[in-house]
Structures are given as C-alpha cells and as structure tokens.
Amino acid sequence: MRVNNLKRAVVAFALALPGAAIAAVVAAPAAHADSCYTWNRMLGQGTSGADVRQLQIRVAGWAGYRDIVENDGIYGPKTAAAVRRFQAAYALRVDGIAGPETFGKLYQIQDDDCTPRHFSWSEMDDGCGRGGWRGGPLTEAQTRQNALRTMWKLEAMRKSLGDRPIIVTSGFRSRTCNARVGGASDSQHLYGNAADVVSRSRSLCQLARDARYRGFSGILGPGTRDHGDHVHLDSRRENNRDRTSNTTSWSAPNCGVGNN
C-alpha cells in the first residue's frame, strides 16, 4: 500500500511542477523499512511539514558559503539549493527536488539511530567522557537534536573533503565538564551545537576553510588562541538562547578564514 501511495504522490507532485511531464516522473522504490525515519512523499519548494524538517536536518551541511538551512519545516530556496548540492555531491540527478533517489541516498548514509554513517552519539556526548546529555542549559531532547544536526554537517564536510575521516575530540559538555576543561561560560558546547575536530589526512586549515560552506557560523582555528591543534565548529546563528544568536564569527587567520 505504501508503494502505491508513494507512486501516486510522485505523479501528482511532478504534474504540479511547471512544465512537468509524466515522462519525467521517477518511479517509486520499494517500501523502505528504516528504523529512524521514512519519507512517504516527494518534497520540493512549496511543501512544508515535519518531513521537510527531517530533510533539513540531513542537508544542513550543504547550505553553501556563509549560509544556513533553517530547520523550519518550510521547503524554500535555501533548502532547494542545499538539496541540489547534496545531489551533485553524490552524483544524483540535480533538480532540487527530494524524491526516491535522494531519499534512497539518505537511507544509505543514515544509521538506524538517525546519525549519519560516519558519526555517532557517543563521540558527540559529554567531552569529559562521562556520557549523558544533562547538565546544560537545554533539555536532553533539545541538546541531542542540536548534536544530530551538527553530525550531519560534519558528514557533509567529510564527503566534501574526499570521504576522509574527521575525528570529534569534544562535543556536548555539561556545565561541570565545560568548567573543568576551561571552556567559555557561554560556550556553544553547552548546547550541543559545537564540535572540536581534527583529521589525520586533512590539515586543520582544510577543515576550517571547508566549514565555511557547511552551515557553521562559528569557526575557530589556527591563528586563534588555544586553537592551534584543532578546529572548533559551532552553529551559533541557530542558537537563539544565548547572546551570540544571529551572529557569524570566523577566526582562523593562519588559514585565511575570517569574518570578511
């Protein structure tokens, strides 16, 4: 039944697009049993809903230079552009419409716990190694949601840099943990919005430069005090609960990465 419904949805959506023809309709795949999330309709500009939000989480890392994909459930131009970049990166048909082919690739790179293939909850939780998502300003659910979005941005960075491993050295920190490691009192690590990263096969400057295209509004790297051995990445523009909201702060001067 799900397959038939999806086929009808594909046809209806395609015919609703300007200049669309039945010949352009992509056949629906077999029903996909995914333990995390399964999309049941085509998505494109003008659609909205919880399924769009789920898509936005997964394409957040394809936002483009100095931009972000808002997780607002509205499929607007930014979401469409991010989908096109995702499609191009994975050698899919580039049309900005999320359909069977795009969803199929997302299922392929998504684990059953909703994390992208190359990142995990364990490496993103509590930088002091104690585990858990409590002790920050947000609820556990909110913190985990932020961490999930961060992981998907890192997955996009990994793909962009040639599928080379990226290692997270610090993710979410409780207030106690943050104080112990000497983090700033308003650190984005407290919100699950941040990750400190390194790579064995890519330089810190390569990480910092690529991060400008991955939806990260906070970048601290080589040339910034205390960031000579890692790159700090965060999503402060998406965090409206602290004083750094709606700002972009990039500082990796040794890499030519700055606010201008």
What residues act catalytically? Answer: 227
CA triple 222-224-226, angle to 5 deg: 90
Contacts for 87-94: CB closer than 8 Å, 24+ residues apart: 89/62, 89/156, 89/159, 89/160, 90/159, 93/26
In whole angstroms, what is the distance from residue 95 CA to residue 91 CA?
Answer: 12
Other C-beta atoms closer than 10 Å to the C-beta of 158 total 23
What tokens does 149 get? 């979005």
Which residues lie below 8 Å from residue 190, measured CB to CB, with a gap of 6+?
136, 137, 172, 173, 174, 175, 178, 183
In whole angstroms, what is the distance from residue 87 CA to residue 153 CA?
Answer: 15
Other C-beta atoms closer than 10 Å to the C-beta of 202 total 18
In whole angstroms, what is the distance from residue 111 CA to residue 106 CA?
Answer: 10
Amino acid letter, 183:
G
Say if residue 249 is exposed, middle or buried (CB neighbours under 10 Å; 0-12, 13-18, 19+): middle
Give the pairing type, strands 218-220 and 249-251.
parallel
Which residues lie below 8 Å from residue 147, measured CB to CB, with a gap of 6+?
121, 124, 125, 133, 171, 172, 192
